[in-house]
Amino acid sequence: MTGQADGNKDAQQLCAEAQEFLRAGNAARAIAAFQAALNLDGSIAGAWLGLGRALERQNRGREAVGAFERAVRSEPNNWRALHDYGRALLKTDQTDRAVKALTKAVTINPGSEAVWCDLGTAQLITGALEDAEYSLRYSIFLNGKFAIAFNNLGNCMREQGRTVEAVRAYNRALAADPDLSSAAAARASTQSDMGNVKDALAGLDAFLREHPSDVDCHQTKSLILMRDSQLADGFKEYEWRLSPTRTSVPLRPFTHTRWQPGLGSGKTVLIWLEQGVGDEILSLGLLPDFLSDPGLANAKKILIECDERLARLIERSFPSVTAVPRDNPPNALAMRADLSCAIWKGGLLYRTDFGAFPHHNGYLRPDPKRVSDLRERYRALADGKPVVGLSWSSGGVRGRAKTPPLDAWKPLLMRQDLQFVSVQYAAAGSDIDFLSAMAANPLYVDKDIDQAMDLDQTAAQLSALSATVTVSNTIAHIAGAVGAPVATVVPKGYGGFWYWFRDRKDSPWYPSMRLCRQSSPADWPSAMDNAASWIDSSPWLTNPLPSSEA
């Protein structure tokens, strides 16, 4: 039976009232009313469902998942509850659980194009590309004007290297919804991957004429321009990433006055690093330019907000700064700064042409004692052979496109004249076994080093080796930033990040790096051949590791 609230409203009445609040856009009052109803009768699936939707309106994703889970528990065959549950799991990066919930939802109701679309999106994220394509095409079969399904089908095609089909799908998405900025941005990125920069920029400019404040398309335009070596225009567009409407890269909640060149004398200035740890390491190459500014040269204190794994490296490398680990909410010391600046502002200030890139021997300084100790260990291991680090996998955005199949490494690993050492972070045991079976000399795994968590020791390890061969990942950035010889195998097209530019064999960011590119998309043997050629032409090949006394 339904209980009574203060002798006035029962649970069903409170639910109906909550639904009205939700329809009116008053999420806070809807949440209060749903909770009051559930206090009287916790078995009402509709109340849990409504509560989850209201929590989503307030961006309380984890709590929404819990509410939808209770709805499913109350009515296990309620496909709407399963759909909302799966969608909420997807939004909170619980993708495997999302696939299970959404698969059950389409089993119960195979006629919902929205459920099929969300299932396909979840499958795409997990890498089940054939399943994703089926689900998204079935969604489109049910609704031939479903713009989001066309957009996500384009993403699926792009992941499979089917770029022409991807562009066609994005065009269908924009025909169904001309305001869909994600499709306009993805179409342009795909055209850029294909080398068709002119059409990519023309399409973005056409979209931006109708939507001049669309942050995603401005951001995409900036990356295309910079990848195409148009640095001044690209970094100018890149400032759009700081727009408060940007959703794909969370902004830091700093309200300080923005630092400008010449400011900072006698003040505390915060420079905050951006995006993933690899990008943070890359951007630290701009820090010497900041520190040479007259205002910052006379600052009271300079704070660098960073991934906490970089703090020791930063303070050793730049003794005049204080590293502040990134917290949420931010560290109190960071919040008390007088001025703040996002570090990639330095691109617009200091890197508008290639002549502005300084030659350096490394701007990050590993612990010299650790370097010496590790070098002695690897000298003893290698028996006079050069010792080469190997990192074979990349995660994160476009990780699959940046990661060769394991057997692509066989020509390098079979070389008798090299001793390979794993420098792969979070290496799977099965990967180690597979690679070791192909290696002429046993692949060495240094169990004293955690490349995922201890970046200071990883920097020392890379500095202690003769060289490193790696995919485009954090290891590549660390090796380049410490000035260690490194070959980075880079995909052609999708997966080639803007900061590797196009077709260059050198990296302006990292003078010690050689870029070993595919000749065509998915052609990993050509990239490996380029890495082998770099090894054969390198002076360190005939110069084994020096002793620590050298």
CATH code, domain with 348? 3.40.50
Would the pLDDT of 10 be above 90?
Answer: no
Q: Are 303 and 352 in a shared domain?
A: yes
* Nearest alpha carbon to residue 378 among 432, 436, 444: 444
Query: Where does a domain end: 310, 336, 356?
Result: 356
Q: Are 381 and 445 in contact (CB under 8 A)?
A: no
Q: Are 421 and 389 in contact (CB under 8 A)?
A: yes
Q: Are 196 and 215 in contact (CB under 8 A)?
A: no
Would the pLDDT of 544 be above 90?
Answer: no
Under the banding of pLDDT at 50, 70 and 90, the label for residue 5 is very low
* Nearest alpha carbon to residue 94 among 133, 52, 60, 62: 62
Which residues are registered as beta bridge partners of 299?
Answer: 265
> Any idea what the CATH number is for the domain that residue 469 is in?
3.40.50.2000
Residue 402: predicted pLDDT: 94
* H helix and E strand count, the chain: 27, 13
In angstroms, the CA 105 to CA 80 distance is 7
Mind listing the pLDDT tens digit for each residue in 246-264?
555 668 889 999 999 999 9
Mind listing the pLDDT tens digit for each residue in 261-301?
999 999 999 999 998 999 999 999 999 999 999 999 999 99
Show the tokens assigned to 150.
């066309």
Q: Are 48 and 139 in a shared domain?
A: yes
The per-residue b/e assignment along 451-476, b for 16 or more CB within 10 angstroms, e otherwise, is: beebbbbbbbbbbbbbbbbbbbbbbb
Under the banding of pLDDT at 50, 70 and 90, the label for residue 542 is confident
Backbone angles phi, psi at 444, to 5 degrees: -90, 135
> What 8-state DSSP symbol labels residue 540?
G
Mind listing the pLDDT tens digit for each residue in 486-523?
999 999 999 999 999 999 999 999 999 999 999 999 99
Residue 398: predicted pLDDT: 82
Would the pLDDT of 3 be above 60?
Answer: no
Residue 369: predicted pLDDT: 97
Q: Are 267 and 376 in a shared domain?
A: no
Q: Are 216 and 339 in a shared domain?
A: no
Q: How many Cβ atoms are within 10 Å of 171's Cβ, its own excluded?
A: 15
Residues in CB range of 327: below 8 A, 6 or more apart: none
Q: Are 491 and 517 in a shared domain?
A: yes
Under the banding of pLDDT at 50, 70 and 90, the label for residue 546 is low
Query: Where does a domain end: 356, 380, 406?
Result: 356
Residue 156: predicted pLDDT: 97
Residues in CB range of 310: below 8 A, 6 or more apart: 273, 277, 280, 281, 284, 323, 455
Mind listing the pLDDT tens digit for each residue in 25-34?
999 999 999 9
Would the pLDDT of 137 be above 60?
Answer: yes
The Cα angle at residue 219 between residues 295 and 249, in degrees rounded to 5:
75
- What's the gap between Cα 48 and its chain centre? 33
Residues in CB range of 206: below 8 A, 6 or more apart: none
Count of domains forming the chain: 3
Q: Is residue 242 part of a domain?
A: no
Query: Where does a domain end: 327, 356, 385?
Result: 356
Name the maximum alpha-carbon separation found in the chain: 89
Q: Are 192 and 316 in a shared domain?
A: no
Would the pLDDT of 549 be above 60?
Answer: no
Average pLDDT value for the chain: 94
Q: Are 116 and 139 in contact (CB under 8 A)?
A: yes
- Sheet strand arrangement including 339-342: 257-258, 339-342, 268-272, 301-306, 321-325
Residue listed under structure tokens 């109350």 = 74
Mind listing the pLDDT tens digit for each residue in 188-226?
999 999 999 999 999 999 999 999 999 999 999 999 999
Mind listing the pLDDT tens digit for each residue in 330-356?
999 999 999 999 999 999 999 999 999
Mind listing the pLDDT tens digit for each residue in 433-452?
999 999 999 999 999 999 99
Residue 248: predicted pLDDT: 54
Q: Are 29 and 135 in a shared domain?
A: yes
Residue 30: predicted pLDDT: 93
In angstroms, the CA 340 to CA 332 distance is 14
Q: Are 500 and 377 in a shared domain?
A: yes
Q: Are 545 and 375 in contact (CB under 8 A)?
A: yes
Q: Is residue 522 part of a domain?
A: yes
Q: Is residue 549 part of a domain?
A: no
Q: Are 17 and 134 in a shared domain?
A: yes
Q: Is residue 252 part of a domain?
A: no
Q: Are 545 and 382 in contact (CB under 8 A)?
A: yes
Q: Is residue 363 part of a domain?
A: no
In terms of residues, how long is the chain?
Answer: 550
In angstroms, the CA 541 to CA 535 distance is 7
Would the pLDDT of 45 be above 80?
Answer: yes
CA–CA distance from 263 to each of 86, 254, 258, 332 (Å)?
50, 18, 10, 22
Helix axes 45-57, 61-74, angle to 10 degrees: 170
Q: Are 163 and 139 in contact (CB under 8 A)?
A: no
- More confident site: 547 or 253: 253
Q: Is residue 250 part of a domain?
A: no
Q: Is residue 191 part of a domain?
A: yes
Q: Are 384 and 346 in a shared domain?
A: no
Q: Is residue 326 part of a domain?
A: yes
Q: In this prediction, what percent of the chain has a pLDDT beyond 90?
A: 91
Q: Are 199 and 318 in a shared domain?
A: no
Q: Are 374 and 337 in a shared domain?
A: no
CA–CA distance from 171 to each of 147, 165, 192, 221, 405 (Å)?
10, 10, 15, 18, 32
Helices (H), 194-230: 197-210, 215-227
Domain span including residue 414: 368-542
